Each structure stands twice: as C-alpha cells, then as structure tokens.
Structure 1
Amino acid sequence: MKAEIITIGDEILLGQIVDSNSAWIAQALLPLQIQIEQITSISDRQEHILEALQTAAQRADLIICTGGLGPTKDDVTKHTAAAYFQTSLVRNEEVLEHVRGIFAKFNRTMPDINMGQADVLANGEVLFNDWGTAPGMWVAHEGKIYVFLPGVPFEMKNLMSHRVIPKLKAYPSLAKIAIRYILTVGIGESHLAEQIADIENAFPAHLHLAYLPKIGMVRLRVSASGTDLAHLEEEVEQHTQQLIERIGPAVVAREDLSFEEVIIRAFSEDQVTLATAESCTGGNIARLITEIAGASQMFQGAVVAYANSAKMQVLGVAEETLVNHGAVSEETVIQMAQGAQQVLGATYAIATSGIAGPGGGSPEKPVGTVWVAIAGKNETITKRFQFHQDRLINIERTSTQALLMLWNLFQKEKGF
C-alpha cells in the first residue's frame, strides 16, 4: 500500500510551526509496510485542498490529511472534503455531546461555533476523538482510503494509534520493504562514501543506500523493496554487515538510534555516570541527553555556569585561572569539568566555554573560539575548536564535538 500525507495550514507554510506530524505518521506506518509516496503542505484554501486530494489519489492508495478541522472560518477541510466526495456534512449527536462535555468539565460555556465540530462527512466513518473536540474521519472512496485528522499533534497521534492503525491492519500491503540502519561518528560523508564505494556500486537494483548526515556523524540506511519480505530481510542484513565490517570503529550503532541514545545505553550498561558544566552551550548538551528516555540511569546533572562568578562559586574554578587565562581557555574548562565531576559525583564530565557570537570576540580569541574538556576516570582531555560567526551553529557544533570527545575517551578507558 502506498500512502500520501497532506498537511493543511497556513501556519506551516509561514514557518510558524514545524510539520512534525508527517514524520511521526511516516514512522508509524512503516511497521505496516505502508510506504509514503509524497508529503505535501498546503494552505487553508479550498482550491488547494481539492487539487491536493485529486493528485494524491492518482499516486496513493491511502491519503492522510491533518489540520483544518477546527471550528473557525479558516478551517475549511471538512467543507472542501464534502465537495470533493460530492456529499454533505451531517451532525453527529455523540460527537456533539462529547464536545459539550469537554466545555462543561472546565465550567465553560460552549460557543455556538463549536457545534460545527460535530459535523462530519455523510459518506464517512467517525474516528471518535477522546483527546479533543475535533473528530477524525475515515472515508473509503473509489478504491482509495482517505483519513482526516486534527492537526494538534497529541490528538493526531492518539487517533492514529488507537483508531487508524488498527483499521489499517486489515489492509495488508503486497509491496514489502526491509530496512537497516548504521550510525557512524567522526567520519565525514564524502570520506565514508569513498570508503564503501565498491560495496555500494555492487548493490543490486532493488537495494538502496541512503546517506543521512548531521554534524559530526552520518547515518546510513540500507533498504530493499520487493514482495518476499523474508528474502529481503536476509539480503539487507547481509549487505549491512558487509558495510559495518568495512567501516570499522566509526560504527557506533546498527539501529535507528541517535548518538545520545547510544551514549545513554553504553553508560547505563557500564554503570558509569555523566555530568555537564556548560558555558557557551547554555545547557544544550544536558538537553540533548535528558530528552532521551532512560537518561536518569546515567545523567547526574548539569551546571550552566555562564558568569565567571558561577564558574568560581559552583564549580570551583580558581580566580587566578580566570584572571591569567580567561574564561575561554584550556585551563578554565579543565577546572570546570573536574569541578562538575566532584560537585555532581559523576564518572565523566563535559565542560564547554567559548565565544558563541555574534559579538564578544577579539583578535586572540575570535568569535567561534571554543574550548571543550572531558574529565574521565583516569585523565582529562581537552580540545580547542575554531568555528564561525553563527551563534546557533556554534552551539550545535560544540555540543556534537563534546559528545564525540566523551565517546572517544569512554571507549579508550574501556580498552577499545
């Protein structure tokens, strides 16, 4: 089964919100062997919605639309869908009572405009929304399945998980796809491509290798499509193993994991802990770690020591160190990392201090100058980086490089 996702809303096209719904839906459909043909974002205009529905039906068997189901005049999805299917909207009393109940729960009077949220497509099946006021709708039309969902992410996810996916399981897909992932760190995309070029060139036509680069790392995706899933799984596994053997130590995971997840798993398994002492990164490294479930098993805490006074009073950085060498120096980050180790009782600690920009630089220490220190079990390592003028990119690059340094020291102290 092939699918297409249509996201509806001017706020997406204006960049006011990021379309995270499509990525989540695509990941949710993959275990059902439903492949996304296209993702389209359009405005809340009837002609755009009609055109998107018509063209999607030419490419896909399943069309999922999110957004535009609210009660206000700019939400035109339901009325447009009724015109597309040449049907009408009917009021669903069960949905209406549900909407009234939500307002009553919070002791609020329901405006008349909200009654329209109980209007659903006459030719469709209501996907009851226990998590909000706008119901979803499922329509089977001319051999295609259309699903209309609210754009609010938590409502959409719950409707997909509890209403849509159970129904889709009754529509097995003949086309199958097998996928494996390889996460590499510390090797650039072009160098990696050169290293495995002969293997990639020998791939059969139905196998595909995708490079998904980020700062400091490259994720490889090996996929194969066909009808015999067992054979595809065996074939993809064989080629994935061949790539892993060629790439060697740069491989840190062969699952669809982030680098932070790899670190958390490895530290948790080895029962070692981590703390951060961040200046120029402002807590970003701690955020990257604590966004992952399971971080509490290995993360002790973070100190965002932006001011020199915080570096001295909280982390124990010596005043003479700051006077003689400055906040952005090897000597300072060493004392920050070791101070975090001691104060937070961690096995490993990361420290960052730099000039993120766009101002604050000097000829000796221009914008983008960053020092990173990693305190480990047996030693403290440091490195100076010279990034560029962009503040956010400097923070991102520093965070990534700090995690790479942490991983390398961790591996060294394990004897790898």
Structure 2
Amino acid sequence: MNVEIIAVGDELLIGQVTDTNSGWIARQLNLMGWELTEVTVVRDRKDEIKKAVLDAFTRVPVVLMTGGLGPTKDDITKKTLCELYGCSLHRDEKVQEMNEERFARKGFTMNELTRDQALVPDACTVIYNPVGTAPVMWFDRDDKVLVSMPGVPSEMQYAVSHEVLPRLRSRFNDHSSVRHATCLVKGYTESGLAIVLADFENELPPYIHLAYLPKPGVIRLRLTATGLDDAEVSSGLEIQFEKLTALLGSHVFCREDVSLAGALGNILRERNLTIATAESCTGGNIAHELTLVPGCSAYYRGSIVSYANDVKTSLLGVSSETIEQNGVVSLPVVEEMVRGVRHALHTDCAIATSGIAGPDGATPGKPVGTVAVAVACGENVVSKMVMAGTQRERNIERFTHSALLQMIDLLTP
C-alpha cells in the first residue's frame, strides 16, 4: 500500500520548525509493510492545501496530513477540508467535553478560540484526541482516505500508533506481516562489508532483504522479511539473522536496533559496570545521550562538564603543567581527565573529551574539528585524536559519536 504525507505550516517552509513528523510516520509505515512514496510540505494557504490533496489522490489511496489544526486564524486546515469535501463545521459535544475536562484539571480557563477546537467537518469521522485539544479527522470517499492530524509530535504519534494505523489496516484489509532484525557492526567500511556479505545476500530468500545504514565507524544492518504467513516470516528471518551475525562474529557488538548509547548501556549492564563522563567540548552531550536510554541509572553515575581549564584542574585533578606543555586539546590532558572523573565519581569506566568544536578556537596543528578522546575501564586507559569538520553543532555530535564508539571498542575488543 502506497501512502503520501502532506505537512502543513508556514513554519516548516521558513526553517523555523523542522518536519520530524514525516520521518517518524515513515518508520511506522515501514514497520507494517506500507510504503511512503512522497512528502509534500505546503504553506497555510487554502488553494495550496487543496491542490496538494487532489494531486496526492491521483497517485495514492491514502493521504496523511499533519498540522494546521490549532486554534489561531492561521490554522486553516479544517475550513479548507470543509470546502474540499463540500461540508460545514459542527460542534462535536464529546470533543467539547474532553477539552473542558482537560482545562479544568489543569486549572485553566478555556477561551473562545480553544472552545472552537470542538468544531469539526460534517463529512469526517472524528477520532478523539486524549492528549490534546484538536481531534483527528478521518475522511473516506471513493476509496480514498485522508486523515488530518495535529502537527504537535506527541499528539500525532499517539494518534498514529493507537488509532490511525490500526484503522487503515482494517479499512484496506491488510493482513501482511513485516518483521525486522537489526544488528550494529564495527570494523568495516560499507563497501568492505558489502564484499564480505555478497554471497550471503545472493543466497537470501526472495522475501528477505538486507539494508546497510552507515555512520562513521558503525554500520547498522537491517534484515526485513515480508509475507502473508507471520510464522513463516518470523522463522525465516530468525534463521537468516543468526547466519548473518555468525558470519560477522565479533564485529557485531549489538543485536538490536538501538542508539550507540543504548548499545553501550547494554554492554555495561551485562558486565555490571558503571560509567561517568568528563566533558569539555561536548558540553554534556555524551551524558545527554546516555540518559536518553531508559534504565540508565543501573550504570550511569554522573558527569563533570569541565569547559574551563580551572574546572579541569580543580575538579578532575588535571595538572596545570600538563595543559601548559601539551595544550588543553591533547591526549595527556584527556587521559588525566578520564582518570580524574572515574576516581571522583567512583565508577568502573569513564569517557573524557577535549576539543575544538568551532567555528573559532583553532591553534597551529589543531584545526577546528580536532578532538582528543580518552576512555577508561579500571586502570586501562585508551586515548586518540579524532578529526571532524568545521560546523560546531555537527562536530559536537561527531565527537559524541566517536567517544561512545571508542568506549564500546574498549569493552568489546
């Protein structure tokens, strides 16, 4: 089944807000074996919204629309859909009641604009929204389904997961099965790994496909199996996944689809180890990634963000002489940082970073994008210099990625 998305909002086209909704929906569609074929982003303009819907329905039977359902005048999606489907707005009493109860619980007073969130097109089936004020609207005409949802990510995600996708599968009588198995691989380039796996890929059953999702130093391999018999799909996928991981051996450091921080967390939990970070140029971003993982309190103890040199010396015990002799972005400095934070926070493992995120701060021999990373497990300390690019935000992400991967390398030689 092919699906298109229409994302509505001026804020998306002027760069004020990034459309993360479409990517999230695409992943959910993929999990159920449906294909997102196109994403259209339009302004809050009646004629542009109408044209986008009509054009999409010439290509696909299902259109998912996000945005434009707020209470302010610039949110015109409801009225536009009324014109498109030749209907009027009416007040839905249940939506009204739900919104009044929500406002009463929070101690807020509902104004007229918010009260009008209960106005819905006559031609739609209303899907109630327990996590927001704007209901989801389902239009079904001539075997074409349009679902209009709030643009707020949490509200859209709830609607898609709990209502929209189950209703779509039932509406189009889709009983297909789609299963995925993912592993994380290190120690290969993408092309090198493809050569190693060439025979494996050629021998895969026709209903199973292999995808390569590379990042620097890591390749995510995903096997996808599709079919009508769920038992057959699951069994075949498990057999091929075991073949794949056995073929790659120790290069596979995680057998599930998680972030690098999640993979590291699994290793730490399995080995009953604790970790802390000492961060300069990454400014706590490594700690942020670690704490995004549910259950991280089992192994993560804390961090010291030592951006200034005097913080490095006073809290981490880095020698002033080491900084003077080697520069703050150096292997000796991060080695002292990693030892200092491990002892200060009483952990088994630690990560330390010191670098030049940019756009300024370069010194002779150390351009923007240079970072020193040290990792430790017990008294075993490994450090190395890494080069990234010139963009500050991207460098911080690359530094974080490199540090997490270096820690994984130390724990999974």
Query: Is the contact made by 2:260 and 2:401 (CA closer than 8 Å) also made in structure 1?
Result: no
User: Which residue number corresponds to residue 131 of structure 1?
Assistant: 131
Query: In the alignment, is the contact (CA less than 8 A) between 1:33 and 1:173 conserved in 2?
Result: no
Residue 70 of structure 1 aligns with which residue?
70
Q: Tell me, in whole angstroms, the C-alpha distance in 2 between the residues paired with 1:32 and 1:309.
A: 54
Q: Does the C-alpha gap of structure 1 residues 111 and 291 become closer, same or farther in structure 2, counting only changes over 3 Å? A: same
How many positions carry a matched residue from both structures?
412
- 1:317 partner amino acid: V
Report the CA distance between 1:314 and its aligned residue. 0.6
> Which residue matches 1:3?
3
Hey, what does 2:287 align to over in structure 1? 286
Alpha-carbon shift at residue 29 of structure 1 (Å)? 4.6
**Distance apart, 1:141 and its partner CA:** 1.8
User: Could you say which residue in structure 1 is the equivalent of 2:410?
Assistant: 409
Residue 253 (structure 1) aligns with:
254
Matched residue, 2:332: 331
Match of 2:323 in 1: 322
Where does 1:137-152 land on structure 2 (aligned, <5 Å)?
137-152=137-152
Query: CA 1:178–1:93 in structure 2 vs 1: closer, same or farther (change >3 Å)?
Result: closer
The range that moved more, 27-36 or 15-24, is 27-36
Q: Structure 1 residues 241, 103: closer, same or farther in 2, change over 3 A?
A: closer
Match of residue 216 from structure 1: 217
Cα contact 2:33–2:226 (8 A) shared by 1: no
Q: Distance in 2 between matches of 1:374 and 1:2?
A: 47
| 1:353-404, Cα deviation, whole Å (9 max, x unpaired) | 1222222222233333321111212411111223343323332222222112
Task: List runs of 5+ in structure 1 lacking aligned partners.
Answer: none
Per the alignment, residue 188 of structure 2 pairs with: 187
Is residue 67–residue 149 contact of structure 2 (8 Å, CA) maintained in 1? yes
The CA deviation at 1:192 is: 1.7
In 2, Cα distance between the equivalents of 1:387 and 1:167? 46
TM-fit CA distance, 1:264: 0.6
AA in 1 matched with 2:152: V
1:290-309 equivalent positions in 2, closer than 5 A? 290-309=291-310
Q: Distance in 2 between matches of 1:391 and 1:122?
A: 51
SS at match of 1:262: helix
CA contact (8 A) 1:37 1:59 kept: no
Change (3 A) 1:263 1:80: same
Distance change >3 Å, CA 296–CA 100, structure 1 → 2: same
Q: Which amino acid aligns with 2:285?
A: N
Matched, 1:13 2:13: yes
Following superposition, the deviation at residue 289 of structure 1 comes to 0.8
RMSD, aligned α-carbons:
2.5
8 Å contact from structure 1 (residues 127, 136) kept in 2: yes
Residues in 1 aligned to 2:39 and 2:223: alpha-carbon distance in whole angstroms: 21
- Pair 1:205–1:42, CA change in 2 (3 A): farther
Q: Does 97-106 or 318-327 show the bigger shift?
A: 97-106
Specify whether residues 189 and 268 from structure 1 end up closer, same or farther in structure 2 by C-alpha distance, changes over 3 A only.
same
What's 1:313 paired with?
314
Amino acid of the structure 2 residue aligned with 1:123:
A
Q: Secondary structure at the match of 2:316?
A: coil
Measured after TM superposition, the shift of residue 98 of structure 1 is 4.1
Identity of aligned residues (%): 42
Find the counterpart in structure 2 of residue 92 from structure 1: 92
Gaps of 5+ in 2: none
TM-score by length of 1: 0.90
